[in-house]
Chains A and B, each alone.
Chain A
Amino acid sequence: MTDVIDPPIIGGGAGTLVHDDHAADAHAEHGPSGVLKWLTSTDHKVIGMSYMITSLVMFYLAGIMALIMRVQLWDPHGAIVSPQQFNELFTMHGSLMLYLFAGPFAFGGLANYIVPLQIGAPDMAFPRLNALSYWLYLTGSITMLLGFFVAGGAAAFGWVAYAPLSAAVNSPGAGPDVWLMALALTGFSAIFTGVNLCGTIFYLRAPGMTMFRMPIFTWNMLVTGILILIAFPVLTSAVIMLFCDRHFGTHIYDVIGCHTLIHPNVPAPQACGSPVLWQNLFWFFGHPEVYILALPYFGIVTEIFPVFSGKPVFGYKGMVFATMAIAALSTGVWAHHMFTTGTVLLPFFSLLSLAIAVPTGIKFFNWIGTMWRGQLRFTTPMVFSIGFLFAFLMGGVTGVMLAAPPIDFFVHDTYFVVAHFHQVLFGTAVFAGFAGLYYWYPKMFGRMLNEKLGHLHFWFTFVGFWLTFMPQYGVGLKGMPRRVAYYPSGLGWQIYNQLSTIGAFLIAFGFLLLLINLVRSWRNPVLAGDNPWDAQTLEWFTSSPPPHHNYTHLPPIRSERPTWDYNHPDALALRHGKVPVPAGSRSTNGSGPHNNGDGGAKEKVPV
């Protein structure tokens, strides 16, 4: 019982709605309503929206924790919070930002919403599994926050939970245990989402949407999905083993019962556990994790630059292979977080870590190439994306410095590293992430966000970002370690900390403006229409917001920009390698609204 909707005349050859097998009328509103509708929904758009809202709440909570820490660090011996509270704050700030915001916003929120739309699918491949992923994520978030309410407080061992600090004897109480359970819940949530992403991209593409015509955002989400499957099971196993150490009397990570030795050449007796094993397992997850956090955001800006330059992505295939190279290399560099343990094969890890700069550089040059000779429109998504470029550029350069063990030896665990990873994470999850929010908001809600407020948000965030993190590089080089509630006075470190605190409050103000913008867009909506940005990929062909099962009809898919081809058939004549075709010099066999799906196909169409 399938419904067939007559194809429209314009753009002939355009599509038929393909229905699922229980297609009564997809638009009849029988079924649950209200809260029950939300609880039972398996629609990827609803699930993606829920993920995004939940992760943004986590972002704001973690941001408040950061502000409290920065106020504490205004003075060398601040009295805002106690050392125990400070340790809980940085642990939870890191955990919320990394486990509960940056990842879920990207692969649970935006990818869930956008990937099926970009490939012309009605939903994700496993809708109920998708819903389960969300409920595991929500309950995992609640579980992690429960730590603040248990006796003994939240986990206080840093988001990395190094053994033996995370053992029961050193970190007693329920706080660390709920933290571990939260990781188990969100870990399974992520694994199921990874399966869903790969399955959807492999099996549910629309006709003509070959792998090398997929938008780069979708490619990046595919690679992210594979990385999730590589990395998260290792974390989950490591966490289970830590829980066993804490409660079931195993000695996997601790050395209780071993004799600690003065001379390294005397072999250790009996069966010793190994704290370094935790580090190996954790970072085998942890390094791909930060690329799981980065690649979706690279994908977002790769969607935005072409649209607001009026050009296609430059070097599409190079982008795809660079993403694969980044993912592959990132799985082989985990021990660069462990250079100072003395147990690591230094040349192997430093070479591979340095090598990641190559595909990342390729991406940078492709982004610049996309903008080059374009007609740049500085909308809010575009300025946030340009901000990402600058932030990630410097963050990437300092990352290359950290890849050299002799340098890492003196900046490891100092504020230099803190500044580095905040630059890369802020560059991706914040600048690129909020670029994506501003970009896709009209598609999701059918209304525009205010451009002026958006620009103000950007400038406060951008200026605040540099003011917060540049002094941290300086004070880290001077020797200030990270994860400290107090620092010695008289060393000249205070001014750096104070500048950093001021910057943090500038960032906070920018995010207040975002909230105001969101509220205003609901109170005084400005309708968006299907394609307010004159964007290029398939999701901009359908209505804003998309209907149930996404598409009532589809345009012909002959390139990586089906919507652009549909709206600008005359631009097909300009598609070339490097030489622009002078206007009027070739036959307009691809022009006009009655262009059929194969118009202009005689010239080389990138596959």
Chain B
Amino acid sequence: MLVPVVLGGCQIPSFGAYRGSTTQGQTAFKLWQGFFIAGLVIGGIVGLLILWAVLRYRKKSDTIPPQTQYHRVIEIAYTVIPILIVAVLFAFTFVAENKVTAISEGEQVTVNVTAFQWGWEFQYPQYSGVKVIGIETQAPQMVVPAGETIRIFLRSNDVIHGFYVPQFNYSEYAQPGRTNQFDLNIVHTGVYRGQCTQFCGLYHSLMLFSVRAVTPSQFQSWTQQQSASNSASISALKKQAAKGDS
């Protein structure tokens, strides 16, 4: 009776990271858990060895202790075992990084993200005229459908910025002269905050944005609505920016 309760309620802790709101983010999260546990075990063993030595071998008398200088077997052991551990960690890493960076072949919703000092522009090339732009704490919101593949094309107009959504467990640089692309498959609807991570100058700390994942039908109606009122909202934002910019 205890077993299903334990198994059902027992989940490996997140160790501080987000569990991932995209499939890619969930892969990254599982790798994080594995590395954290490995780190805890290895760090714990070594830490305990240090603590033991410090507590147990405090100077007790003036006799000179045995002048041990080497121990071939132990030395070989603590060379070979870490190599094996590293090989295993690398194998898991390799699999995970291929999954996270994979670009799918199928249908996707494309968003062109342009970063600039100090704001974001989201343009939807498949829905002509749909554009969202915002400066600093206006935090422009990228609306996308959940459950579908979203293809982001990321670039910058000036310096290097970082496109980071913590809950997606993902970030990538927006660079001038180079366009990066990556896929997001958002699992749940919701609003996810984002921020620029790569230091980009004076108002780097205010370069916020968010991603709102909605159902596909809600997304369709949103794009139609945006096409219609697009020009009006852009000029309103620009007026607001001009007033609020100190």
Contacts and interface: CB of A to CB of B under 8 A. Distances in A.
Contact of A413 (B18, B67, B164): B164
Interface in A330-378: 340-343, 346-347, 350-351, 354-355, 357-358, 361-362, 364-365, 368-369, 371-378
Of the listed residues B53, B62, B162, the one surrounded by the most CB atoms of chain A closer than 10 A to its CB is B53
A479 B195 contact: yes
A274 B176 CA distance: 9
A400 B35 contact: yes
Given A357-B86, A578-B71, A409 B53 contact: no
A258 B70 contact: no
Nearest to A396: B43
Contacts of A484: 204-205
B155 A262 contact: yes
A278 to B, nearest CB: 10
A483 interface: yes
A479 B172 contact: no
B50 interface: yes
> Interface majority SS on B: helix, strand, loop or mixed?
mixed
A347 B95 CA distance: 10
Given A401-B35, A412-B197, A362 B79 contact: yes
Nearest to A560: B69
B31 A371 contact: no
A398 B65 CA distance: 35
Given A264-B181, A365-B78, A413 B171 contact: yes
A60 interface: no
Interface in B26-51: 27-28, 31-32, 35-36, 39, 42-43, 46-47, 49-50
Given A162-B160, A358-B79, A405-B97, A309 B67 contact: no
Nearest to B168: A410
Interface in A465-505: 473-474, 477-479, 481-488
Interface stretch (A194-202, A230-238, A387-395, A542-550): A387-395
B17 A477 contact: yes
B237 interface: no
Contacts of A260: 155-157, 176-177, 179
Contacts of B62: 375
Contacts of A263: 153, 179
B60 interface: yes
Given A274-B177, A358-B79, A474 B16 contact: yes
Contacts of B2: none
Given A378-B58, A397-B42, A407-B32, A170 B201 contact: yes
Contacts of B117: 170
A84 B160 CA distance: 18
A318 B102 CA distance: 41
Contacts of B155: 260-262
A275 interface: yes
A400 B89 contact: yes
B177 A268 contact: yes
B6 interface: no
Interface in B133-178: 153, 155-160, 162, 164, 166-173, 175-178
A376 to B, nearest CB: 5
Of the listed residues A262, A312, A343, A350, the one surrounded by the most CB atoms of chain B closer than 10 A to its CB is A262
Contacts of A165: 159-160, 199-201
Interface size class of B (residues with CB under 8 A): 35 or more
A507 B100 CA distance: 40
Of the listed residues B36, B46, B205, the one surrounded by the most CB atoms of chain A closer than 10 A to its CB is B205
Contacts of A376: 53-54, 57-59
B47 A377 contact: no
Contacts of B32: 401, 406-407
B57 A371 contact: yes
Interface string B76-110: 00110011001001100110110011000000000
B180 interface: yes
Contacts of B57: 309, 371-376
Nearest to B165: A479
Contacts of A355: 86
Contacts of A409: 28, 100, 169-172
Interface string A240-255: 0000000000000011
Given A162-B199, A401-B36, A409-B28, A481 B89 contact: no
Contacts of A272: 177
Interface in A78-114: 83-84, 87
B130 interface: no
B28 A575 contact: no
B38 to A, nearest CB: 8
Interface in A270-295: 272-276
Given A261-B179, A263-B153, A309-B57, A373 B66 contact: yes
A407 B28 contact: yes
Of the listed residues A369, A406, A407, the one surrounded by the most CB atoms of chain B closer than 10 A to its CB is A406
A375 B160 contact: no
B160 A473 contact: no
A581 B68 CA distance: 11
B245 interface: no
A451 to B, nearest CB: 15
B202 interface: yes
B176 A310 contact: no
Contacts of B197: 412-414, 481-482
A95 B175 CA distance: 24
Of the listed residues B27, B66, B182, the one surrounded by the most CB atoms of chain A closer than 10 A to its CB is B66
A397 B164 CA distance: 24
A87 B94 CA distance: 36
A455 B199 CA distance: 39
A574 B64 contact: yes
A406 B78 contact: no
Contacts of B195: 479, 481
B211 interface: no
Nearest to A83: B202
12 contacts: A264-B180, A310-B59, A311-B65, A342-B172, A342-B180, A374-B57, A376-B58, A410-B171, A413-B198, A482-B197, A483-B204, A571-B64
Interface of B: 16-18, 25, 27-28, 31-32, 35-36, 39, 42-43, 46-47, 49-50, 53-54, 57-72, 74-75, 78-79, 82-83, 86, 89-90, 93-94, 96-97, 100-101, 112, 117, 125, 153, 155-160, 162, 164, 166-173, 175-182, 193, 195-206, 208
Interface of A: 83-84, 87, 157-158, 162, 164-165, 170, 254-255, 258, 260-264, 268, 272-276, 309-318, 340-343, 346-347, 350-351, 354-355, 357-358, 361-362, 364-365, 368-369, 371-378, 386, 389-390, 393-394, 397-398, 400-401, 403-407, 409-410, 412-414, 473-474, 477-479, 481-488, 568, 570-571, 574-581, 606
Given A375-B61, A409-B171, 9 more contacts: A264-B179, A275-B176, A310-B59, A361-B78, A365-B78, A371-B50, A375-B62, A377-B59, A404-B97
A-B pairs with the 8 shortest C-beta distances? A479-B166, A580-B66, A255-B177, A484-B205, A413-B197, A342-B180, A406-B28, A397-B39
